[in-house]
């Protein structure tokens, strides 16, 4: 497969631009796991993260022709992911669940099951990071797990770099509290 | 944040996301793209954000019906339930896990663990695991259930994916943290029905995990073969269960091609009891018959033990037809 040279760092643009499926396949291979992880940082639910993955790449597929490389692929794809995750929290369905208090026990057990997964298949510290409020855990995970810089996180989350720094600082402080609580219990 | 903590978070995260299946998800995306104009496009790979509300509502109703059903059964037989404190409640859900486990590959399934007592009302911390599958009308039906005696802690359900053609299999387990034993079930499809490929109860010091498509079971066994007279001398036994399935043409599918184990570990080839296989191997893998402590094992499971290091191959082929077999390379360290 031929590759056009002089394209920005992450971007490989197949010569056959009309072959959108191949492009999509490449993008899923290249960014799929990161998209899934980012969605998980937001939602803490494997199935929901898988749903978001599908939605993200369907949108990528539908908009491939319109992507003008004003940003890198990963910024574009991550932004779609963030927007879809935010949409989920704003969705009527999510509000209904919360406001109607549908099956509190059910949602509690669902959260507990997810936590059980995180502890069993990851570890306690990872699970504690995910226990942080969303506004802190997402930047923290992107920075310390995905190795993204402050400016990249600011770009993806559409917030200022200062804001990212503040969230990282507060997130670290809160994590320290959670870790010391865990150590005291042991 | 110090470097050590960063490393821990990264390692744990890598472990957590290690079973991410990009192939399966990208197939789901292509499935939706290619069924763009098909009315069923949305159904199999539900991504509609409103979906969970509907599922939760339905499941709440189903759970309520289930509890009422149990209550009715006991009341009709002249025995009252819910008469005492909360510990004696029956049918109280303690955990619910949404899983991708269906012979069509895309529909949702749920596993609910209910705390449940036997009719004698002696509190025992029994758990009843129920697998719900979405039916043709979008409602949920009980597809499998199993009782886990004297164990209070449900463990995460492990799903083992086969290829696109074969349905997944699942490992359901619970633990008694005080007495340090587990129960587990390996379940899969047999002609669109879910059956247990293997059931294990009271596995002392037991741990179950899925590594690269193989089920790793660890248990403690007494040195002299008898728990009563062992004097507390137990040794650890590791068994790797290689799952297999047979398609309609009679060809064998497994989830692994290469397996690395330690000398002294055991290997077992595990599948549906209704689709028996035979295995060919040479001297490094020694046929082995499990003893009584492996209760409820599948009669067609082939067990091997390893005594020496080296490289070995197991060839699995269908017993009753001429379908294609499968070769698995084993490195014994």
Task: Compute the distance between CA of residue B224 and CA of residue A153 in angstroms, rounded to an integer.
Answer: 60
Task: Compute the distance between CA of residue B308 and CA of residue B312 in angstroms, rounded to an integer.
Answer: 11
B178 CB-near residues (< 8 Å, 6+ apart): none
Check residue B323 and give its pLDDT. Answer: 82
Nearest chain A CA: its distance from B13 CA (Å): 6
Q: What is the mean pLDDT of chain B?
A: 77
The string of DSSP codes covering chain A is --B-SS--TT---BS-TT-HHHHHHHHHHHHHHHHHHHHHHHH--HHHHHHHHHHHHHHHHHHGGG--SSS-HHHHHHHHHHHHHHHHHHSHHHHHHHHTTTTHHHHHHHHHHHHHHHHHHT-HHHHHHHHS-HHHHHHHHHHHTS---HHHHHHHHTS-HHHHHHHHHHHHHHHHHHHHHHHHH-
Nearest to A91 among B47, B50, B56 (CB): B50
For the segment A53-69, what is each residue's pLDDT rounded down to a tens digit?
999 999 999 888 777 66
Do A29 and B9 lie within an 8 Å CB cutoff? no
For the segment B287-307, what is each residue's pLDDT rounded down to a tens digit?
666 654 454 556 677 788 888
* Average pLDDT estimate for B146-163: 89
Nearest to A126 among B16, B97, B100 (CB): B16
A114 CB-near residues (< 8 Å, 6+ apart): A44, A45, A46
For the segment A166-178, what is each residue's pLDDT rounded down to a tens digit?
999 999 999 998 8
In 3D space, the residue among A98, A75, A102 whose CA is nearest the CA of residue A158 turns out to be A75
Minimum mean pLDDT among A19-23, A138-142, B221-225: which range? B221-225
Nearest to B97 among A32, A113, A122 (CB): A113
Indicate whether B266 pLDDT > 80: yes
Check residue B299 and give its pLDDT. Answer: 66
Check residue B282 and give its pLDDT. Answer: 66
For the segment A145-154, what is each residue's pLDDT rounded down to a tens digit?
999 999 999 9
The share of chain A scoring above pLDDT 90, in percent, equals 38
In 3D space, the residue among B28, B163, B49 whose CA is nearest the CA of residue A24 turns out to be B28
A84 CB-near residues (< 8 Å, 6+ apart): A39, A52, A55, A56, A59
Q: Which residues in chain B have their CB less than 8 angstroms from residue A112's CB?
A: 95
Q: Which domains does chain B have, with CATH numbers?
A: 179-333 (2.60.40)
Do B5 and A125 lie within an 8 Å CB cutoff? yes
Do A91 and B51 lie within an 8 Å CB cutoff? no
* Average pLDDT estimate for B251-264: 90
Answer with the residue of higher pLDDT: B163 or B61: B163
Same fold, A1-100 and A103-186: no
Indicate whether A128 pLDDT > 60: yes
Q: How confident is the model at residue A104 (pLDDT cuts 50, 70, 90)?
A: low
Check residue B75 and give its pLDDT. Answer: 46
Q: What is the domain partition of chain A in residue ranges?
A: 1-100, 103-186
* Average pLDDT estimate for A2-23: 48
Check residue B109 and give its pLDDT. Answer: 85
Alpha-carbon B25 to chain mean position = 21
* Average pLDDT estimate for A114-135: 86
Answer with the residue of higher pLDDT: A15 or B222: B222
Nearest to B56 among A33, A106, A123 (CB): A106
Q: What is the ipTM of this complex?
A: 0.82
Task: Compute the distance between CA of residue B92 and CA of residue A87 in angstroms, rounded to an integer.
Answer: 33
Interface check B96 vs A, CB under 8 A: yes
At the second CATH level, the architecture of A103-186 is Orthogonal Bundle (1.10)
Task: Compute the distance between CA of residue A72 and CA of residue A13 in angstroms, rounded to an integer.
Answer: 12
Answer with the residue of higher pLDDT: A53 or A116: A53
- The yes/no answer on whether domain A1-100 falls in CATH 3.50.50.60 is no
Answer with the residue of higher pLDDT: B273 or B120: B273
Check residue A77 and give its pLDDT. Answer: 92
Check residue B83 and give its pLDDT. Answer: 41
Do A121 and B15 lie within an 8 Å CB cutoff? yes
Q: How confident is the model at residue A110 (pLDDT cuts 50, 70, 90)?
A: low
Bridge-based pairing state of the strands B214-222 and B258-261? unpaired
* Average pLDDT estimate for B202-212: 90
> Tokens in use for B105?
């590959």
B115 CB-near residues (< 8 Å, 6+ apart): B89, B90, B91, B92, B93, B94, B125, B126, B127, B152
Bridge-based pairing state of the strands B181-190 and B169-176? antiparallel
Angle A37-A170-B13 from CA coordinates, rounded to 5°: 25
Q: How confident is the model at residue B65 (pLDDT cuts 50, 70, 90)?
A: low
Q: Which residues in chain A have their CB less than 8 angstroms from residue B52's CB?
A: 48, 93, 97
Answer with the residue of higher pLDDT: B61 or B153: B153
Check residue B79 and give its pLDDT. Answer: 43
pTM for this structure? 0.56
Do B15 and A28 lie within an 8 Å CB cutoff? no
């Amino acid at each position: 497969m031929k590759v056009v040279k002089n394209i920005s760092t992450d971007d490989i643009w197949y010569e056959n631009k009309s072959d959108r499926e191949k492009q999509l396949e490449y993008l899923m291979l290249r960014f799929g796991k990161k998209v899934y992880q980012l969605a998980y940082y937001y939602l803490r639910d494997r199935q929901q993260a898988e749903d978001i993955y599908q939605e993200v790449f369907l949108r990528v597929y539908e908009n491939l022709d319109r992507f003008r490389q004003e940003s890198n692929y990963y910024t574009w794809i991550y932004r779609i992911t963030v927007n879809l995750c935010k949409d989920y929290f704003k969705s009527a369905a999510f509000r209904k669940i919360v406001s109607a208090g549908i099956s509190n026990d059910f949602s509690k057990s669902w959260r507990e099951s997810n936590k059980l997964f995180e502890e069993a298949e990851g570890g306690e510290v990872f699970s504690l990071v995910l226990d942080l409020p969303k506004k802190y855990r997402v930047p923290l995970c992107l920075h310390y797990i995905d190795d993204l810089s402050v400016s990249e996180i600011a770009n993806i989350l559409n917030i200022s770099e200062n804001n990212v720094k503040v969230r990282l600082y507060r997130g670290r402080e809160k994590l320290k509290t959670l870790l010391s609580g865990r150590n005291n219990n042991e | 944040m110090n470097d050590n903590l960063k490393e821990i978070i990264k390692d744990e995260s890598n472990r957590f996301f290690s079973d991410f299946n990009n192939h399966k998800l990208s197939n789901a995306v292509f499935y939706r793209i290619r069924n763009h104009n098909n009315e069923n496009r949305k159904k199999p790979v539900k991504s509609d954000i409103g979906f969970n509300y509907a599922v939760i509502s339905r499941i709440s109703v189903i759970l309520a019906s289930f509890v009422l059903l149990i209550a009715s059964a006991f009341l009709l037989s002249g025995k009252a339930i819910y008469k005492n404190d909360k510990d004696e409640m029956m049918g109280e859900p303690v955990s619910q896990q949404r899983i991708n486990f269906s012979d069509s590959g895309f529909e949702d399934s749920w596993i609910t663990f209910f705390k449940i007592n036997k009719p004698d009302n002696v509190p025992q911390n029994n758990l009843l695991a129920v697998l719900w599958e979405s039916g043709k009308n979008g409602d949920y039906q009980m597809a499998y259930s199993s009782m886990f005696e004297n164990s209070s802690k449900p463990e995460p359900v492990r799903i083992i994916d086969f290829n696109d053609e074969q349905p997944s299999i699942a490992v359901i387990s619970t633990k008694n943290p005080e007495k340090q034993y587990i129960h587990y079930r390996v379940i899969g499809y047999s002609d669109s029905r879910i059956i247990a490929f293997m059931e294990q109860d009271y596995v002392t010091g037991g741990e179950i995990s899925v590594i690269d498509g193989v089920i790793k079971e660890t248990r403690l066994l007494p040195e002299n073969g008898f728990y009563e007279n062992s004097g507390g001398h137990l040794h650890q036994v590791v068994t790797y269960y290689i799952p297999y399935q047979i398609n309609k043409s009679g060809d064998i599918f497994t989830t692994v091609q290469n397996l690395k184990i330690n000398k002294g570990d055991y290997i077992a080839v595990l599948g549906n009891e209704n689709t028996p296989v035979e295995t060919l191997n040479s001297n490094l893998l020694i046929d082995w018959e499990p003893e009584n402590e492996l209760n409820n094992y599948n009669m067609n499971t082939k067990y091997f033990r390893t005594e020496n290091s080296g490289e070995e191959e197991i060839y699995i082929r269908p017993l009753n037809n001429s379908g294609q077999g499968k070769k698995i390379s084993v490195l014994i360290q």
